[in-house]
Amino acid sequence: MIGRRTGWALLLSCQLLAVAAQAQEAKKPVVRQNVPLDSIRLSDPFILADAKTKQYYMTGTGGLLWKSPDMKRWSGPYTVAQPDPTSWMGPKPIIWAAEIHPYQGKYYYFATFTNQAVKIDTVQGTPIERRACHVLVSNQPGGPYVPVPGGDATYLPANKPTLDGTLWVDKDQKPYLVYCYEWLQNQNGTIEKIQLKPDLSGTIGTGQVLFRASDAPWSRENPRSGPARPNKVTDGPYLFRTGTGRLGMIWTSWIYDVYTQGVAYSTSGTLDGPWVQEKDPITPPNYGHGMLFRDLNGKLLMAAHSHQDIKGHYHRVPHLFSVDVSGNKLVLGKPYRP
């Protein structure tokens, strides 16, 4: 869902991943049992540790779900997303970066949906497909996830490609959708916020920019001419609080052709920022699109995927890391094996 370097190389990788995701959606998945985590091919992993069912639920790009009682062995993939085929998404949308958030007794499925049949813009000769963050709902963590009753037809403007939406309840106790406005259109990807309705059935007002891809001191890309410059890509925002109450956000971009995740902190302690980027990345090279969760025993972990380019094909696998946020900043620990 994001590219590698600059210009056409970035666009080509976006298209390749879209084709792969579409192929995954086109065929009915074969459910497997007792699959170890490092044998699962999955981008943008998101893990919900559900205390009610005492199960782990993992989703991500592709719109499929994996289940496990202990994170050692997984069953799946299961099809759980059931968007409205008559909506703007069309009958077979590509699904990216799905997340499952418990909220007020229900489970909400935040995901990016792409309708390749609809073009919303052309930038520098490149057609921009209809892509946007949207929310589905279920009474069970394992789905099925369907449109929110009475919900908005769209959560974000139809003429803007948005992706990687996540949920955050800020200090004002209001829910917000935090998402990326894609670099393909604005040429300098942003991370933005918009207020959600109290029941998450839609949005209120307009989006506000939190920061831009070029704000990161560590991101780099090689232009066709001239010196290196900041990368255009914003990807995978996820918010957290430290033990001191500091608000942080992990997010991903690139250092040349290396997939890289950094962290920013809000000086106000709220989404409004201002946001200050840490100088150095937070994860090892070629790991990114992370999220934080506590396992059923209360241990804080990060789920992220590793990224390898093998003869032009992306190989992405979920991984776990220990995490410490008890102090004033996020400290990444060692790889974790359940």
Which amino acid, one-letter code, is at 129?
A: E
Q: What CA dihedral angle connects 33, 35, 41 and 43, to 10 degrees?
A: 90
Q: Which contiguous run of DSSP H or E holds residue 248?
A: strand 247-255
Residue 149: its pLDDT value, please? 97
Return the SS3 of 293: strand
Assessment of whether the complete model's pTM goes beyond 0.85: yes
Cα–Cα distance, 118 to 273 (Å, whole number) = 35
pLDDT tens for each residue of the chain, 338 residues long: 544 444 433 443 444 344 444 444 446 789 999 999 999 999 999 999 999 999 999 999 999 999 999 999 999 999 999 999 999 999 999 999 999 999 999 999 999 999 999 999 999 999 999 999 999 999 999 999 999 999 999 999 999 999 999 999 999 999 999 999 999 999 999 999 999 999 999 999 999 999 999 999 999 998 777 788 999 999 999 999 999 999 999 999 999 999 999 999 999 999 999 999 999 999 999 999 999 999 999 999 999 999 998 888 889 999 999 999 999 999 999 999 99
Cα–Cα distance, 52 to 31 (Å, whole number) = 24
Characterise 308 by phi-psi region: left (phi > 0), alpha (psi -120 to 50), beta (else).
beta
Residue 27: its pLDDT value, please? 64
Contact 280, 331 (CB under 8 A): no
Nearest CA to 273 out of 155, 163, 170 is that of: 170
What are the φ and ψ backbone dihedral angles of 7, each rounded to 5 degrees? 55, -125
Q: Rounded to a whole number, what is the distance in angstroms from the first to the last CA of the chain?
A: 29
Nearest CA to 189 out of 220, 235, 155, 158 is that of: 235
Nearest CA to 116 out of 80, 88, 83, 135 is that of: 88
Residue 326: its pLDDT value, please? 98
**How many contiguous H segments (helices) and E segments (strands) does the chain have?**
2, 21
Residue 21: its pLDDT value, please? 46
Contact 93, 157 (CB under 8 A): no
Residue 203: its pLDDT value, please? 98
**Could you tell me the two tokens for 86?**
């008559």
